[in-house]
Structure 1
Amino acid sequence: MRTASLYRFLTVLLAGVSLVVAGRACADTFVGQKFAVATVNPIATEAGVEVLREGGNAVDAAISAALTLAVVDGHNSGIGGGCLILIRTADGRLTAIDGRERAPAKATPDMFVIDGKLDPMASQTGPLASGVPGALAAYDKAAKLCGSKPLSRLIEPARHAAAGGFVIDSRLGAVIAGTKEKLRKFPGTRAVYFKPDGTVYREGDRLVQKDLAGTLANVQEHGIDGFYRGKTAEQIGEWMQANGGIMTADDFANYEAVERTPLRTTYRGYTIIGFPPPSSGGVHVAEALNMLEGYDLAAINKRSSVDATHLIAEVMTRVFADRAYWLGDADYVDVPRGLIEKAYAKQLATTIDLDRATPVPTHGTPPEWRQDLFGRHTTHIAAADAAGNWVAITATINTSFGSGVIVPGTGVVMNNEMDDFSIQPGVPNAFGLVGAENNAIAPGKRPLSSMSPTIVLDEQDQPLMTIGAAGGPKIITQVLLGVIRYLDFGQSLADALATPRFHHQWRPNELGLESTASDEWREELASRGHRVTTLPSAGVSQAIAKTKDGRLMAVSDPRVPGKADGE
């Protein structure tokens, strides 16, 4: 059964005008018995649902939806980017698959120092900005380990949408218009997003991507070797060499998706399953929850939502200070496991003043930081089925349309994930994040990620919730708020995602509140010493939770025209 409010109905009648009630937009929500899928695009959600109706499982559905998003939501994710996949299978097994991009073999720590001067734009746009894509390798590994359908079947909705085209919605139309100067720079990209008369495609136009359809068909026929060891890799390598890039066909051939051990921590009797490094999200969602566990958060929020916001913001600040110093690819640098120790969180929490914002000059020092170590623009897909398969996939090409590059003949939008490295210690990236030596560039290394696919298990170790988000560093705070609002504040899943969000990432020292937050909320937080700024949006989340009567509730974030569906 589908739940739809009168407000949502009126929103449709008002031709896309955003309707906000008490600061909350209306989320697209589905409740069903057999399975559920939530993504940012109705075409992708339907691709996942159709796989489930054919007898596939939630893993199959999530992969098919993710591949379809590569076509219909290509400014956010695609096979030219990467992903992190977190899976809980019906038999209780937990799997984490790392499809994060890797630095090319010729990458160096000072590769963005050009003519003796740092050029931060070179890490964001053009041939040097891309890491070796990992998404397709990760989808293939997930399908083989935990799925029930061949990758060729899961790709078909994406290939069909690329070959036959789809109607551009308001969101994609706005992003194309907003990034047209970047897209105009590269002939292969102009050929896709610009019309023969020199204008860009816009809302209501049909976008056909025949080169991308050909690349996907090649993978259907030859498997991922058709991408990593065939024509596509050669085309990209040759273009990079001719245009000042360093990525080669050998970089593609040497790429492997890695199976990692999921992070498993606890929070008030629940089990939180997160992704280990090179994700910073799993570590720091756990670190934040460990700090908050020492407070009666539900009582604090009931007394005053401002008190709760202040406390959570102070926790965010300390978490991001640690992120900037300690986090990196654990295959290359030492990342201390003490960051997720409850004793360390308790120690950090003692520095919080419940009445005033306090300076956080530097990172903390977790216990045994030398010895106890981890082993060596974006979208999220949530899927679950009645058999007990629950999936969280976060996929990305970084900022909108990544590097801006589509290599002619491939149709593939290349990521700009090299910007997620610390191109120099202390130099902010496109999201304002700073980093240290642990996240410096090295050949083959994976850049630090904020992607935070998360699964919550109940007291009986059964799946209760899957959640993830898009939005750069705001991914971490979105997931944290979604979990808190659902578990601690008792909000419905729809309200947990729709309630105005806030974000603090230590540097810059600002507490960002979404524009739908009340003036009173802002003023009271400012009076406590916070430098309050306005965010038009603090990202986009997708989630599924099990209701008290055992059904599956899927919610697509109301900030974008996504879709939750199932049966």
Structure 2
Amino acid sequence: DLGKIFMPRGRAPRVGETCCGRPRLSKTLEEIAINGPRVLYEGELARGLARDVQEAGGILTTGDLEQAKPRNLEVLEAEVMGMRVVTLPPPSSGAVVVSILKQIEARGFPVTTSGALGKHWLVEAMKNSFAARMSLGDPGTKSDPFLDAAKIEGVVEDLVSPKFAKSLVDATLDYGVRPAEEYGGIHGPFYVPDDNGTSHLSIVDADQNAVSMTTTINTGFGSKLVSRSTGILLNNEMDDFSIPGQPNTYGLAPSEANYVRGGKKPLSSMSPIIASGMDDGGLKIVLGGSGGPRIITAIAETFLGYVDRRLSPSDALQEPRLHHQLFPEDLLYENETSREIMTQLPLFGHRLKHENGGLGNCQMVVMENGTAVAVSDHRKDGAPSKVDDDKLQ
């Protein structure tokens, strides 16, 4: 069914060809629009969806769907480089982005991250933050916390703490790297789950109300299963959980905070942020991205480019990126990376690896002189647009 939908002629569609007609999905979306989202979790749509999954070998039941409810979480707030940054708490990775930014800020704001030494500092901050990320998971709710909730809360408090950021910076070697197990301070490394198949929207209206929204089906095409009765392409988010007793590819123990539990959500790289002025509360930046764990580093690099290095919104988004998630121990770089960076970073001890695809894809809106300026990443097919307001561009 997946091939029939996305490759109707038995091959990938060419530019200008009509493709991917999904009448069953259209009908499902129409039913949701008319009757509300609960029709997907109760009634005929739910029964059909559960039946389709079971026929494909899955164990989803109508009872599972009836119990599925979104959570209204308290946002995570932090002061970063003179701005109030609002992002999502675990099981999202907003705190990890903040941690990278706080480590750079701890070196004295503004500090350039453009030269080889600055890039080295940035990469080491990435590695520290990804090490601590391995202790994160879904804490549950205040009324119904999971076993590791208190530990996760402590990790998050450290990740947004200036004191913890300073301790990580103090342990960083200016001209060298450390063994992987020494990163993350007291929150050492366990396991890094991967994810992609993600999209992001950054939205600002004429009144400066803002939305930073990331959505995902995890890996490319998710589970690769299309529900026959609803037309929905199903995700494979269960793959984001750690598995007890089973080391990952690199022989590392899985993270207990991210074990599967009933009602639990897996750790995600999604890290949408909204930044506003500390003094006037005025909207400054709406930013988010897609690209699995590269979301985290792409958002941090884009934010630093615009805020710390004073690049234009477009240049901050388009300049070449680096990515390091601690495991595997490769520093990924893009095609346009300067020769200086490629030549000098190996001298610091980094193991460089070229990345043919883009390192994350961001969508950003910034407010400049009362005007909303929207920019989209050239690494993906997204594009900025405006609707019925001359102030949005």
Write the letter of the residue equivalent to 1:382. S
Counterpart of 1:306? 116
Structure 1: which 5+ residue stretches go unaligned?
A: 1-187, 367-376
Counterpart of 2:382? 562
Counterpart of 2:351? 531
Gap change, CA 1:435 and 1:381, over 3 Å in 2 = farther
- Tell me, in whole angstroms, the C-alpha distance in 1 between the residues paired with 2:109 and 2:267: 30
CA contact (8 A) 2:104 2:111 kept: no
Counterpart of 1:413? 233
Shift of residue 241, structure 1, vs aligned partner = 2.0
Counterpart of 2:98? 286
Gap change, CA 1:510 and 1:200, over 3 Å in 2 = closer
Please state whether the residue corresponding to 1:541 is helix, strand or coil: strand
- Tell me, in whole angstroms, the C-alpha distance in 2 between the residues paired with 1:409 and 1:511: 44
TM-score of the pair, normalised by structure 2? 0.87
Q: Deviations over 1:315-360 (max 9, x none)?
A: 0001111111x10001122202333222112111111112222223
Gap change, CA 1:517 and 1:344, over 3 Å in 2 = same
Write the letter of the residue equivalent to 1:223. G
Q: Deviations over 1:501-545 (max 9, x none)?
A: 111101111111112212332111111110011112102100000
Write the letter of the residue equivalent to 1:257. P
CA contact (8 A) 1:458 1:464 kept: yes
Counterpart of 1:259? 72
Counterpart of 1:296? 108
CA contact (8 A) 1:428 1:434 kept: no
Counterpart of 2:198? 378
The answer to whether 1:439 aligns with 2:258 is: yes
Counterpart of 1:329? 138
Q: 1:90-169 residue pairs with structure 2 within 5 A?
A: none
- Tell me, in whole angstroms, the C-alpha distance in 2 between the residues paired with 1:455 and 1:478: 15
Shift of residue 199, structure 1, vs aligned partner = 4.2
Counterpart of 2:314? 494
Gap change, CA 1:201 and 1:211, over 3 Å in 2 = farther
CA contact (8 A) 2:123 2:324 kept: yes
Shift of residue 261, structure 1, vs aligned partner = 0.7
Write the letter of the residue equivalent to 1:488. D
Q: Which moved more, 1:489-498 or 1:511-520?
A: 511-520
Aligned length: 362
CA contact (8 A) 1:297 1:308 kept: no
Please state whether the residue corresponding to 2:332 is helix, strand or coil: strand
Gap change, CA 1:205 and 1:476, over 3 Å in 2 = same
Q: Which moved more, 1:474-483 or 1:335-344?
A: 335-344
Shift of residue 461, structure 1, vs aligned partner = 1.8
Q: 1:350-361 residue pairs with structure 2 within 5 A?
A: 350-361=170-181
Write the letter of the residue equivalent to 2:35. H
Runs of 4+ residues over 3 Å off in structure 1: 197-203, 296-301, 432-435
Counterpart of 1:7? none
Which of residues 244, 255, 262 in structure 1 aligns to 2:57? Answer: 244
TM-score of the pair, normalised by structure 1? 0.61
Which of residues 191, 208, 214 in structure 1 aligns to 2:27? Answer: 214
CA contact (8 A) 2:333 2:353 kept: yes
The answer to whether 1:229 aligns with 2:42 is: yes
Shift of residue 231, structure 1, vs aligned partner = 2.3
- Tell me, in whole angstroms, the C-alpha distance in 1 between the residues paired with 2:252 and 2:44: 36
Counterpart of 2:194? none
The answer to whether 1:541 aligns with 2:351 is: no
Q: Percent identity?
A: 32
Q: 1:42-121 residue pairs with structure 2 within 5 A?
A: none
- Tell me, in whole angstroms, the C-alpha distance in 2 between the residues paired with 1:236 and 1:434: 35
Which of residues 298, 305, 309 in structure 2 aligns to 1:485? Answer: 305
Q: Deviations over 1:115-151 (max 9, x none)?
A: xxxxxxxxxxxxxxxxxxxxxxxxxxxxxxxxxxxxx
Shift of residue 435, structure 1, vs aligned partner = 4.3
Q: Cα RMSD between the aligned structures?
A: 2.0
The answer to whether 1:508 aligns with 2:328 is: yes
Q: Which moved more, 1:478-487 or 1:355-364?
A: 355-364
Shift of residue 296, structure 1, vs aligned partner = 3.2
- Tell me, in whole angstroms, the C-alpha distance in 2 between the residues paired with 1:308 and 1:435: 32
Write the letter of the residue equivalent to 2:224. G
- Tell me, in whole angstroms, the C-alpha distance in 1 between the residues paired with 2:83 and 2:343: 35
Write the letter of the residue equivalent to 1:364. G
Gap change, CA 1:558 and 1:190, over 3 Å in 2 = closer
Structure 2: which 5+ residue stretches go unaligned?
A: 141-145, 188-196
RCO greater where, 1 or 2, for CA within 8 Å and sep 6 or more? Answer: 1
Q: Deviations over 1:431-457 (max 9, x none)?
A: x99841111112221000000000111
Please state whether the residue corresponding to 2:89 is helix, strand or coil: coil
CA contact (8 A) 2:306 2:312 kept: yes
